Amino acid sequence: MFKEEANFQEGKISMHSLANLTGLEKLKETFKGEITLPEDARYEKLREAYSKKGSPALVVQPLDNNDVSAAINFAVSNSLVISARSGGHGSAGFATNDGGIVIDLSNFNKVEVIDKSNGIVRVGAGAKWGDVAKELEPYKLAISSGDTKSVGVGGLVLGGGIGWMVRKYGFTIDSLVAAEAVLADGSIIRISKEENEDLFWAIRGGGGNFCIVTNFEFIARKIDKVVFGTVQYGLEDLQSVLKGWRDYINEADENLNSTIRIMPSLFGMPAGIYILLCYAGKLNSKSKKAIEPFMKWGTVVQENVKEMNYADVLEDSMHPPAEIKITVKNFFTKELNDDLIKELSGICGKENSPVLQVRSINGENNRIAPDATAFAFRSSKFIIGAGIIAPASFTESQMEAVLQPWKSLEKFGEGIYVNFTSEKENINEIYPAATFERLKQIKRKFDPENIFNQNYNIKP
């Protein structure tokens, strides 16, 4: 059915002539949300995602599941590729396309507490995590949900979701109890352990390969205040900081979460080591004791750690200048051994050094079986990521040279986290073999024609 799929994905064919789109007038009559075409003033803004400016034939913003169903049916009848967008923040650019349809879920933005006694909250796929945190604040509830305010709920959840309570509560998918979705045939279903259990397994890490999820239900956690901030060291203390942090964080109170950012001189910020930490609790003797070791691994240049609301922890998104290209890479690792630390230290502080991030994900993640969800890297204790910065004009060979330092690190890792990469990665690196085979079986059941292919694609 979708024989033109490869050409659409590569942007090699021109935008569909609107006159040739079957059923467009009927869609306009029945669709309750907005339909934006290339001649409309809103199109210029809506065609763009965080990392890519596409040229879709149309952008639709459904108001309910029936609208989503109608949009999918319209796309199928016209052989249009489908990009589903929650926040559009993904680095790989799947939230827009050339010549297809973008189903923008921004109207699915409601956040409601549906079971106060058990902390069950219902969140639309198009809500932004900053808004979710603010809505839950009066209830003293929070979901471990990433770092950035503008990230959409849907994309983060379907990839896994690493947040500021990951060590105690696991990934965002580990707080997911149910979802609503629209399938490739337009049918609307509920997904949970009791209903469509195989799909419930698949959407927890399998990305947008199987359906368009419109609403999620989570267990939110009781959070009054958090202690959050940054401890800064100079690059000369890098090995001492990494070794001290590694030895401490594996045994530390699981309310304590932290990320080490190793920065070159960039965007007006001085080079250095920035440890971001978040303790899920008030500033008291217990949290102070947990944070104290962070001040002992060298000479502290600056520290700013204080009590605040959880919603205030989430950062604003940084958009790089147009003349800059940022390539995002990552891998998981079970240990941060001395050899890896030495290799990390060797690529920092040089011209064209990447921005490096080392994050602890031990704790609850390690207590969950690898086959419990489609996200399978449950024995990993750390994730290491890089933002590799180069002029947008760089050729392929120039980019290869810039990427070389990162490649020296990859031998220490396993797997790839889909939410922290901008590359069209090898799907076999994202999912272990047994997980991948199970995902393919579920794909054949729910999307046998592979209409949901604008993603890290699992072919039926």
Question: Based on the domain organization, do 131 and 213 belong to the same domain?
Answer: yes
Question: Based on the domain organization, do 76 and 99 belong to the same domain?
Answer: yes
Question: Based on the domain organization, do 185 and 212 belong to the same domain?
Answer: yes
Q: Domain residues for 205? A: 111-223
Count up the domains in the chain and report the number.
2
The pLDDT score that the predictor gives to residue 288 is: 98
Q: Which two three-digit tokens encode residue 48?
A: 């763009």
Question: Based on the domain organization, do 100 and 116 belong to the same domain?
Answer: no
Q: Which two three-digit tokens encode residue 297?
A: 């691994």
List all residues 6 or more positions away from 78 whose beta carbon is below 8 Å from its beta carbon. 16, 21, 22, 23
Question: Based on the domain organization, do 135 and 214 belong to the same domain?
Answer: yes
Domain boundary among 104, 135, 169: 104
Residue 159, domain member (yes or no): yes
Q: How far apart, in whole angstroms, are the C-alpha atoms of residue 416 and residue 383? A: 9
Residue 135, domain member (yes or no): yes
Question: Based on the domain organization, do 74 and 148 belong to the same domain?
Answer: no
Short-list 396, 132, 115, 382, CA closest to 260: 382
List all residues 6 or more positions away from 191 whose beta carbon is below 8 Å from its beta carbon. 178, 179, 180, 181, 199, 200, 203, 213
Question: Based on the domain organization, do 97 and 146 belong to the same domain?
Answer: no
Length in residues, the chain = 460
Q: Nearest 5°: CA angle at 447, between 57 and 155?
A: 65
The pLDDT score that the predictor gives to residue 400 is: 77
Question: Based on the domain organization, do 133 and 99 belong to the same domain?
Answer: no
**pLDDT tens across the length of the chain (460 residues):** 443 343 334 333 344 467 689 999 999 999 999 999 999 999 999 998 877 889 999 999 999 999 999 999 999 999 999 999 998 777 778 889 999 999 999 999 999 999 999 999 999 999 999 999 999 999 999 999 888 888 999 999 999 999 999 999 999 999 999 999 999 999 999 999 999 999 999 999 999 999 999 999 999 999 989 999 999 999 999 999 999 999 999 999 999 999 999 998 876 778 899 999 999 999 999 999 999 999 999 999 999 999 999 999 987 655 666 667 778 899 999 999 999 999 999 988 776 788 899 999 999 999 999 999 999 999 999 999 998 877 778 887 887 777 888 888 999 999 999 998 887 768 889 999 999 999 999 999 999 999 999 999 999 9
Residue 89, domain member (yes or no): yes
Question: Based on the domain organization, do 164 and 183 belong to the same domain?
Answer: yes
Q: Which two three-digit tokens encode residue 45?
A: 């803004």
CATH number of the structural domain spanning residue 72: 3.30.43.10
Residue 33, domain member (yes or no): yes
Residue 334, domain member (yes or no): no
C-alpha dihedral (66, 68, 71, 77), degrees to nearest 10: -80
CATH number of the structural domain spanning residue 196: 3.30.465.10
Domain boundary among 104, 119, 141: 104
Question: Based on the domain organization, do 96 and 164 belong to the same domain?
Answer: no
Question: Based on the domain organization, do 80 and 182 belong to the same domain?
Answer: no
Domain boundary among 46, 80, 104: 104
Question: Based on the domain organization, do 134 and 208 belong to the same domain?
Answer: yes
Residue 83, domain member (yes or no): yes
Residue 360, domain member (yes or no): no
Residue 270, domain member (yes or no): no
